[in-house]
Amino acid sequence: MKRALISVYHKENIETIATVLVKAGWEIVSTGGTAARLKQRHIPVTEVSQITNFPEILDGRVKTLHPLIFGPVLAKRTNEHLRQLQEFRTAKIDLVIINFYPFEDALEKKAADLDAMLENIDIGGPALVRAAAKNFRDTIVLIDEKDYAPVIAAVESNSDIPMESRKKLAQKAFAYTSFYDSLIAAYLHAGEIGHPDFLTIGGRMTQSLRYGENPHQAAFMAIRDRRSPFNAIDQLQGKALSFNNILDLAMMYELLNEFQEKKHFAAIVKHQNPCGAAMAAAQLPAFQNAFQGDPRSAFGGIVGFNHRLEAETAAAMSEIFFEVVLAPDYTDEALKILHKKKNLRLIRMPAGYVENADFKTIPGGFVYQSRDNQTADSESFELKSGKPLNKKEKGDVEFGWKIIKYVKSNGIIIVKNLTLIGVGAGQASRIDAVELAIRKSQSAPAGSVLLSDAFFPFPDSVELAAKHKIAILVEPGGSIKDPDVILAAQKLGLTLLFTGIRHFRH
């Protein structure tokens, strides 16, 4: 007789596969709540304690951790292993169906309660899954109800599960236990200073993407925190999302999070660089100003809003080619207008999620840093040249300082009247970035603000800004040439602010 061990927290459809197994002559071995559920459905069950002659102890903390359970799961189908099982009056287990205590669910509800979180850490389940996965040639392991169907079909047809399928199920099981442990390790490390000796990045694959950075590259998206708005992207229409779309959406999402206020903010992103951004009392002028900041670069970009998308804004957008629209919501009228553009991807995503980690891959590994979540506050900036800022100037400075950290380094932006009018992104030379931003701004209207993600290494950027009548310069400071830069600003009559914070972005 074949035997299956079933012990699941999430019990959906468990009676379906159990019924099929019993009809085919299998014995069901089970524990606690799972056994009770199956008995309620009149499915015969042998409880684990009947095999081990040992009850569940410590409030259910120890149920299956016993040689008479692990031995049958790990036993090879060799004469010697089968003889040993017979010697101890037990028999092999051919199928293990297990899922774990809901640590991931608890993260969303009880993260502040350490005792509650510890009680949601499964011990026996992962141990049994690993044991079955190690012995996949002889013991099938199921951790996902989506995999029940092929096993049911094989049992009903009295056929075996192919070895390649068994191996895939084992791989999935080990990935599942690894992901589960990564959540626990990350939770216990949260808030700690310094880095752990071992770091695992767990992720649950949520969707295949249209393609990677280029069409010949495959791509998918995985989520490590179910609270992320990217966990279940609410796509209202349009083509499937690509790798590039997701990266631009992620950058846009974080940029929009910087502007959670009553005023309307609109931005346009292309290749993970903002190429348009504006803030206004109404949404339509915010969008129009953002678009006019660089209409050429806006073509084929993604556009985002910090408030519900309105009909008149949708109408203005409909004449322009965008790949994606991101907003926290859409009016019914706006949706009617944009539904005419069938390929346009409309994404609805609530604001407010803050990512604290930043990973980048390197050959054979990755580097980690804490996220650049520094907020803008002009009150803390040091005035090195010129007169104190008035209210309007403060608004432009803080608006620009929120945006500059999303520009690829070396990064320069020019802002006027709460509108991004020039971007110099990704230049190896800072003076080249300044020149590009000025050119993009159509020679930088007088009285504008120029912001730099890092210090000016020489006075040449100051001199070029003065030539184009830029009024205010904002940079972190920190160069050995700071005295020369400050002196140049003073001589040329420019206001110069040091933020003390660098915003490199690679």
Catalytic residues: 134, 271
Start-to-end Cα distance in the chain: 61
Nearest to 398 by CA among 466, 451, 356: 451
Give buried/exposed letters for 170-192 (b at 16+ CB in 10 A, else e).
Answer: bebbbbbbebbebbbebbeeeee
Tokens of 383: 């005035």
Nearest to 273 by CA among 404, 131, 113, 125: 404
Helices 14-23, 32-40: inter-axial angle, 10-degree rounding: 70
Give alpha helix (H) positions in 232-363.
243-257, 283-293, 295-298, 311-317, 332-338
3-class secondary structure, 394: helix
Q: Is the dihedral of CA 374, 380, 384, 387 positive or negative?
A: positive
Torsion, Cα 194 410 453 501, to 10 degrees, reads 30
Q: In what order do the strands lie in the sheet with 412-416?
A: 234-237, 345-348, 324-327, 302-305, 264-270, 273-280, 419-424, 412-416, 449-452, 472-475, 495-498, 382-385
3-class secondary structure, 313: helix
Tokens of 380: 């803390």
Nearest to 411 by CA among 287, 502, 299, 291: 502
